[in-house]
Amino acid sequence: MLVTNIHDSSDVIIMKTRAEIKQAFRAKYEKLRSSFWGIGPLESNRLSRIGDIYVCDLGQNGRAAFVMYENGNVVEVHGGIYEFWEQKGGANGELGLPVSDEADYHGSDARPGDRVSEFENGVIVWRADTGQKEVRTYLWHDEFDGYSIDKSKWSFDIGTGNNGWGNNEKEYYTDRPENAYVKDGILHIHAQKESYNGADYTSARMVTKGKFAFKYGTVEARIALPSGKGIWPAFWMLGENIGPVGWPACGEIDIIEAINDENVVYGTNHWSCKGNHAQYGKSTKDFYGTKRDLDITQFHTYKMVWSKDLISMYVDDFKYHEISIKDNAGGTDAFHKPFFLLLNVAVGGNWPGFDIDDSQFPNEMLVDYIRIWE
């Protein structure tokens, strides 16, 4: 372990989740920087897990800072240089951190007993049961670790759409920082009560259309959802060919939807079958007789696994939706073409209804990361 004399009792951080680490890191870093001459301004706080430390890539002068990991808790912040963690495995991640429980969960469907290390564009897993090493390189990912939303990855839908985006929603979507911003390594999609361009509410709807789309793979995201009467957050996908063929022929995959204050997560597929709208979905309150109670306002790990045969959805490894698309079953050929991503928080609409509790605002969706691999 790297030990220095630059920390004191006030530097101690007690937390378990990666999101909590990211939220606390910037404030702790500034104190660290003022005490340790070698560290320059924080340009990026992309956290990687190498061995039993988190590595923060500072992007200047080869300097780094470490958050020490011990028995499931982050306990100290230290300073150091890249050479230290490179000698300990670096981007190859040869040490790996054992996975013990949800607090240790950091991607790639790791299970207790596995060892995991992250690198810039993927993750390495050593399987406890087989001893095999799996290297997964991301097709696309966003850790939301900068100072602003990455416009090379995301754009915004603006306005009220047609008939409230087809759902009679009551918000006006903007690209303003008041409605979508990155802070402490977390994306915030912020719904507000305000009069704006004829609407009574504002929010944001972010899309990767024209920037990234894919066919088949695993999508994983760590997200905390808003809850309240009339609120409707979603993490979902639309077929890249929506322009020429329209909806629902393009297909829609709703990985996460929640409405009102139900504390239920829904997964749904929409498509066109013989010219008619078809849909199929399940939820955490009823997946063939099983259910999962959860507080959706807390961070959970959501995952969709999409193959040529099945689309399956999970929250913290609990399956809440699955549909067969094998051989275009039920006219599901739309799900064998590329899709792009969307994140939004709607206010009111046909599904949640129009009885909106204005006392909840501002209300927001928080996104720690989104990662996609084959």
- Report the alpha-carbon distance of residue 95 to residue 118 in Å, rounded: 11
Topology adopted by domain 155-373:
Jelly Rolls (2.60.120)
Q: What is the pLDDT of residue 317?
A: 86
Query: Does residue 322 carry a catalytic annotation?
Result: no
Mean pLDDT of 224-247: 98
Q: What is the pLDDT of residue 172?
A: 98
Mean pLDDT of 308-315: 97
Query: Does residue 252 carry a catalytic annotation?
Result: yes
Q: What is the pLDDT of residue 127?
A: 83
- Share above pLDDT 70 across residues of the chain, in percent, rounded to a whole number: 69
Confidence of residue 25 (pLDDT cuts 50, 70, 90): low
The one catalytic residue in 134, 252, 262, 374 is 252
The string of pLDDT tens digits covering residues 331-371 is 999 999 999 999 999 999 999 999 999 999 999 999 989 99
Q: pTM for this one? A: 0.79
User: Is the pLDDT score of 214 beyond 70?
Assistant: yes
The string of pLDDT tens digits covering residues 152-197 is 999 999 999 999 999 999 999 999 999 999 997 899 999 999 999 9
The string of pLDDT tens digits covering residues 238-258 is 999 999 999 999 999 999 999
The one catalytic residue in 118, 220, 257, 364 is 257
Domain boundaries, the chain: 9-131, 155-373
